[in-house]
Structure 1
């Protein structure tokens, strides 16, 4: 199944699946809610967070929709998808804009890295090539912006054993604190998936290791990134006014 991938714009917020629109696991600090694990309007909170990050930092999400382009092909950032089926999405941001990141025992995120927070796929059948296309789009975006690395907190299979009944270590209570219908088991990326994508563990942990992808080395993404950057440069040349000069 082919997918078109583009930076998410606020105009396309409704294109995201319901959980993605309502998930504020990473974006809201539960300790600020006074013990209440539910928000009156999580969609508003998520959209407000996206608006803030986009305004202050730039693109912080990629959206994959069903389309006729080649698998993983990125489209223009100005495109808004209407009535097209979402295949997947990915969110990323400076770690300072992600409150939950401060709760992890394997933190902090490195000063030269951007934090990958979540990947969502609507169909397991399309999982591998859509997830690779989404990560490739993130990598291409960050390389263009001069970012050196992408990091993420992963969850291991042992996370399933963490529950109040069996006892939770003190340093993990805030990591796994449920917020609405969001939980660590659902909203933290599986460490095995990250490793399959080329990430390497830089801070080991039995439950929540921190992993890193060195963008300057490519780590298997070099060809994808170069192709994506070439498309961006070609797009800039085509859109430049007559007589204008574009720079690589």
Structure 2
């Protein structure tokens, strides 16, 4: 893909933060997704045309062959979604490919539409070869907000017990006639 190089990645990292997510197993990178906001997409990128301004664009990705079909890609998408939510991004978008590709050694530019839909994307602009897909993040993040809201309401329903009264100590009073025997009502030890 033209323009996807170290200089572009440094520019995105400097202006937006990390430009993707990756997973490592035993010190070896076994998968990654490259993500950026539309205004920071690589120069000359077809992704910038038609990308929504409220979304980050999933540019490309890859999972090593032995780790495919084990949930690594789905975890990468979840990580990218969490990353985007922290930056107040409303959605992830991707341009998928309906053309089958087999390349186990490096990333292909467009991810397969079947895989994108399997991990939660929905087609937002149909196209016979390169449809645009979108994953709304508010539904992903909404349950966290709703859960914290419910917990807050429940906490308001439960009355907190009053703090315990401090323990008191009353020194024993001794009757001088009885030589050291505590009087009634005293707390001698």
Sort the TM-score into its range (normalised by shorter chain).
0.5 to 0.7
Provide the rounded CA distance (Å) in 2 between the counterparts of 1:141 and 1:47.
21
Quote the offset at 1:192 in angstroms.
0.8
1:169-188 paired onto structure 2 within 5 Å: 186-188=108-110
Corresponding residue pairs, total: 141
1 or 2, which has the higher helix percentage?
1
Determine if contact 2:8/2:42 at 8 Å carries over to the other structure. Answer: no
Q: Which residue of 2 aligns with 1:233?
A: none
Unmatched tracts of structure 2, length 5 or more = 145-189
Kindly tell me: are residues 109 and 207 of structure 1, through their superposed partners in 2, closer, same or farther at Cα, counting changes over 3 Å? same
Q: Which structure has the higher relative contact order (CA within 8 Å, separation 6+)?
A: 1
Query: Which residue in the other structure is 1:78 paired with?
Result: none
> TM-score, normalization: structure 1?
0.51
Q: Residue 145 of structure 1: which of 87, 90, 96 is its match?
A: 87
- In 1, Cα distance between the equivalents of 2:28 and 2:92? 28
Task: Return the match for 2:14 from 44, 47, 55.
Answer: 55
Q: Which residue of 1 aligns with 2:37?
A: 94
SS across alignment from 1:119: strand
- Cα distance in structure 2, aligned partners of 1:119 and 1:50: 14
Report 1:1-248 matches (<5 A). 25=1, 27-28=2-3, 46-67=5-26, 84-99=27-42, 103=46, 107-157=49-99, 186-218=108-140
| TM-score (structure 2 length as normaliser) | 0.65
Higher strand content, 1 or 2: 2
**Do 1:118 and 1:187's aligned partners in 2 also have CA atoms closer than 8 Å?**
yes
- Greater C-alpha radius of gyration: 2
The alignment partner of 1:147 has SS state of coil
Contact 1:88 1:121 in 2 (8 A): yes
- Structure 1 stretches lacking a partner, 5+ long: 1-24, 29-44, 68-83, 161-181, 227-248
SS in 2 for 1:187: coil
Question: 1:85-130 deviations in whole A, cap 9, x for unaligned?
Answer: 11111110012222477536x9411110110011111124444411
Aligned-pair Cα RMSD in Å:
2.8
Instruction: Note closer, same or farther for the CA distance 1:86–1:102 as it changes in structure 2 (3 Å cut).
Output: closer
Does the Cα contact within 8 Å between 2:61 and 2:108 map onto a contact in 1? no
Work out whether residues 62 and 108 of structure 2, in 8 Å CA contact, stay in contact via their aligned partners in 1.
no
